[in-house]
């Protein structure tokens, strides 16, 4: 691992432990050349995934790109970052366990949309509008109708006093 300060390739690990959510290994490193200290997070990669774009172009799967696109959809939304990380881990796990090293970008988009549907309805609509290339207001309307019908099928969540354990009239 190269030092981000001086570029030296001779860094030393001083501490290694699982991250709080056990999704990766957190390593504290020090550079003997410049004395700089930094942290790296390392994940186990089960297989090398390749994304097949709509154009047919093949690019390596980039978890960070997925995270950035979700950050755009979730901007200014009250969603716990830990839940976002869990969702991303779930998407990556599904892709890796599919058995196919080449994944169509459409499959990734659908997995993300399904994850966002239960995570945050506004982020779901934001992401879907870009992913599905909405051009008119009726496209939004159809998506919101779809979201509302799927919520009507889901069991109702308690609200107000009932959610806090209080009595309802």
My answer on whether 27 and 85 are in the same domain is no
Clarify whether residues 136 and 54 are in a common domain.
Answer: yes
CB 104 within 8 Å of CB 52: yes
Residues 6+ apart with CB under 8 A from 83: 119
Given a contact cutoff of 8 angstroms between Cβ atoms, the answer to whether 115 and 93 are in contact is: no
Whether 60 and 28 share a structural domain: no
Instruction: Using a cut of 0.75, tell me whether the model's pTM lies above it.
Output: no
Q: Is residue 118 part of a domain?
A: yes
Task: Please answer whether residues 55 and 40 qualify as being in contact, where contact means their C-beta atoms are separated by less than 8 angstroms.
Answer: no
At residue 28, the 3 state secondary structure works out as: strand
110 and 81 both lie in a single domain: yes
| Count, residues in the chain | 169
Domain range for 18 is 12-42
Nearest to 63 by CA among 79, 39, 44, 38: 44
Tell me the C-alpha distance between 140 and 25, whole Å.
Answer: 41
* pLDDT digit string, tens, across residues 119-132: 888 888 888 877 77
How many domains, the chain? 2
Q: Which residues of 22-47 are buried (b: 16+ CB within 10 A; e: fewer)?
A: ebbeebebbbeeeeeeeeeeeeeeee
- For residue 162, CA distances in Å to 5, 119, 133, 166, 168 come to 54, 22, 40, 5, 6
| Averaged pLDDT in 10-residue chunks for the chain of 169 residues | 89 87 83 93 74 92 90 90 88 85 90 88 83 74 74 54 44
In a domain, 1, yes or no: no
143's CB contacts (< 8 A; 6+ apart) are: 125, 128, 129, 132, 134
Query: Which two structure tokens, joined as six digits, stand for 137?
Result: 């207001």
Residues 59 and 24 in one domain: no
**26 and 107 housed in the same domain:** no
| pLDDT of res. 36 | 94
Q: pLDDT tens, 22-46?
A: 667 889 999 999 999 999 888 765 5
Inter-CA distances, 61 with 4, 44, 53, 96, 161, Å? 24, 14, 11, 11, 45
Q: Does 114 lie in the same domain as 80?
A: yes
């Amino acid at each position: 691992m190269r030092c981000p300060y001086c570029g030296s390739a001779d860094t030393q690990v001083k501490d290694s432990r699982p991250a709080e959510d056990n999704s990766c290994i957190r390593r504290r490193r020090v550079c003997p050349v410049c004395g700089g200290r930094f942290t790296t997070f390392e994940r186990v990669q089960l297989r090398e995934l390749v994304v097949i774009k709509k154009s047919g172009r093949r690019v390596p799967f980039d978890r960070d790109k997925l995270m950035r696109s979700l950050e755009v959809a979730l901007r200014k939304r009250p969603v716990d970052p830990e839940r976002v990380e869990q969702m991303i881990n779930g998407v990556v796990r599904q892709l890796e366990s599919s058995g196919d090293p080449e994944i169509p970008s459409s499959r990734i988009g659908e997995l993300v949309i399904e994850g966002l549907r239960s995570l945050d309805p506004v982020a779901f609509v934001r992401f879907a509008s870009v992913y599905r290339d909405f051009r008119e207001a009726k496209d939004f309307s159809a998506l919101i109708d779809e979201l509302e019908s799927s919520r009507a099928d889901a069991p109702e969540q308690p609200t107000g006093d009932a959610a806090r354990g209080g009595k309802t009239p």
